[in-house]
Structure 1
């Protein structure tokens, strides 16, 4: 028996109860106590964001630690970090759907859900960073009688369209894939409130051949739109930096470097969520060791490609011979913020080497620790890229250090609450693993076994 068959076997044995198991999570919800503890923590963090935002709108962006020349700091840094985390969900689902990879079925739903709320957390940062957020509507090309039009050469304008486009397509892709499962939950519940909720959200799905045909076309179409968006959106984010003349940013490697880094941090977050949900709800028969193994291999591959970007960045600086580039590189390695550079290198790539071992990839707690290290390491990387390129300007008289204030930290911690609250609500009210795709795979496995 192959390793893959060994992982599928428990699924075949429990095939008749797969739909009941998955619909039972929102209908009967077996982890109430853990869920409420997590929700209270998330609500406290969300309240911190609300307070921080009110303080920001009342007093202005001066409450943050930004200065001249470090006029980009936590706001843009965490925008890039959250957007990177949001990339893997759509990528892992859409790309594997188009390539017919069966192992996506146990991961795609919560990965797509993660994408939506991570992009939401990223999207609020450009608004907060505007300084005058009540003029946000100026960035949209509405029919303005006063002739005030968006400046399409502004990176802030690129942000608006990149985030909105990606969020819209990701939302359409997520909801389209969810419709058959909402109908499955509707047909299994006996409570009137649940029937109304799932009946409305299932959009009248009856599972007819015509429904399946149109659904399949729509699902693959949105997947086809989502895959290039994953690449284009984070490439656009990298151009916010590369289009300028700042040493350490002005490099053609930034688009692929940022895309691979986004996939790296995003897959780490998918691993954290997969391991957590598998433990919370007893889903080891669905999120198997084989899934962790595959996630570990993908995490290792994207990590090594990101490491190549680090190496090439060093080579690029030496090859150019440009004194400011060289100084920025040396400052990152041995300057005031060297802890961010070496912290990123160590956390991103040292624990990662354990994933060469198949046993480590299949061990939940080890995968969890490695993934947490990567998420923290990628946060340090974005901090390093921003601050070390800005705090020493071309003019020595403008040099100044950046120190985050309480409101910098509180806003960032608050966005974690903004991510967790809707995500916890999602796992409470909708099936977190695709029911129909899992059952379809099990049918195919049974036919092969009896074949």
Structure 2
């Protein structure tokens, strides 16, 4: 039924080989990753002294990066789980992109934690000497669980497409054929297999939502269970979750635009998708803005002395420029663009998404660093360098290398697998024509 149309969809969505621009992009990412690996080698060899972290700022840019990766990974649960469970058919072309982002982000969230430890061999202590009362152990458990569920939500809907890829071996390289056979040789496309797969996906979609909420709540508890001004907040769980959904949606707008333009997917990722995702981003921006107001207004009203120093540093002090940049560029300007229909077209929506992602990264930096520089007990009799923090080149190189690594994973996944689900798209197009 509709054979020619099905063949056209398969041709349009089949994984594309890297062109010149793709090779340059991949080489550039590999180069940034290589610099990051060299910087990490220096850190391993000489110790954390190569960083600018000291007794007070003992986390710095690494934990900022970790929180950012965990946040952006929540796009998988939003697009794949929540929209699928609400039967939002329009989200079908976006689900695989969302899961690719989620999987790559979780991988590098885990890596950056090991980097931050300084002594990577001590990571094994979490398993050999676990302390169940520690939020750090909770974080390891929920991140591992979320990664496994995200991987399954990427893999299970891919099975029908693997059958298509295995049926067109002449279009693939021998290496890719081996991958496709290994991953999907058991899939025959029988009604029973489809029933089991659909049931499994439904269960995973239901499961991943509380896990997604838990992963960022537990991450927020790493901060909120201290007495430090700026972190001592019961609002932190909801504050982190709302911010995570916002940055994930912003990243989705960016990925939609890039894949749509580079792979000529205008017939599949349409302006209507940007319209709907733009509306979602506006809603999430308003929610996150509310929690930001709540997070700063309540301590500002009470004005305890430690909180006063922290808030003054953010609103009018050393970090004021960066703070207002995050508020305006990360929330206000994107919302102002996307509120209007013209702003929800691909190019302005892409610009708004870039703003959200950049603002979100620096927002995580602001969550970590200023608070550490305003400890519960005032700094006394310490070197001047302990009172300030700006990452060393090694820290920047490792942080940028991890970001490039996440983009590299997404790039390779997009080269190996169809970005837009082929089988689901064919089924939906056929259903539309049947009803017409």
**What is the TM-score of this pair, normalised by structure 2?**
0.93
Q: 1:358 aligns with which of 335, 341, 345?
A: 341
Is 1:104–2:94 an aligned residue pair? no
TM-superposition CA deviations, 1:94-138 (whole Å, max 9, x none):
111111110111111111011111111111122112222112111
SS at match of 1:359: helix
Residue 37 (structure 2) pairs with residue 54 (structure 1): no
Contact kept, 8 Å, 2:73 with 2:105, in 1: the verdict is yes
CA offset digits 1:303-339 (Å, max 9, x no partner): 1111111111122213444332233222210111112
Q: Which residue of 2 aligns with 1:181?
A: 161
Q: How far apart in 1 are the matches of 2:416 and 2:407?
A: 14
- Cα distance change of structure 1 residues 301 and 375 upon mapping to structure 2, 3 Å threshold: same
Instruction: State which of 221, 232, 252 in structure 1 corresponds to 2:234.
Output: 252
What SS does structure 2 have at the residue aligned with 1:425?
A: helix
2:270 aligns with one of 288, 293, 300: 288
Distance in 2 (alpha carbons) for counterparts of 1:441 and 1:121? 34
| Distance 1:438-1:429 versus aligned 2 partners, 3 A rule | same
* 1:346 equivalent in alignment to 2:299: no
Query: Structure 1: where are the runs of 5+ without partners?
Result: 1-10, 143-148
Equivalent of residue 9 in structure 2, options 18, 30, 34 = 18
Instruction: Check the 8 A contact 1:238/1:258 in 2, yes or no.
Output: yes
1:200-215 matches, cutoff 5 A: 200-215=182-197
- Any gaps of 5 or more consecutive residues in structure 2? none
Alpha-carbon distance in 2 for matches of 1:219, 1:120: 21
Pairwise CA RMSD? 1.9
C-alpha distance 196-415 of structure 1, shift in aligned 2 (>3 A): closer
Q: Which residue of 1 aligns with 2:104?
A: 117
In structure 2, the residue matched to 1:302 is 284
What is the rounded CA distance, in whole Å, between the counterparts of 1:61 and 1:157 in structure 2? 23
CA distance in structure 1 between the aligned counterparts of 2:68 and 2:274, rounded to whole angstroms: 24
Query: Equivalents in 2 of 1:79, 1:341: separation in Å?
Result: 19
Query: What displacement does 1:42 show?
Result: 0.8
1:80-159 to structure 2, matched below 5 A, reads 80-140=67-127, 142=128, 149-159=129-139
Partner of 2:362: 380
Deviation at 1:68, TM superposition (A): 2.6
Q: Counterparts of 2:67 and 2:169 in 1: how far apart (Å)?
A: 41
| Matching residue of 1:428 | 415
1:129-161, Cα deviation, whole Å (9 max, x unpaired)? 222211211101x5xxxxxx2223334323322
Kindly provide the CA deviation profile for residues 283-315 of structure 1, in whole angstroms up to 9, marking residues without a partner as x: 000000000111111111111111111111122
Do residues 238 (structure 1) and 229 (structure 2) align?
no
Post-superposition offset of 1:184: 1.2
The answer (yes or no) to whether the contact 1:87–1:263 under 8 Å persists in 2 is yes
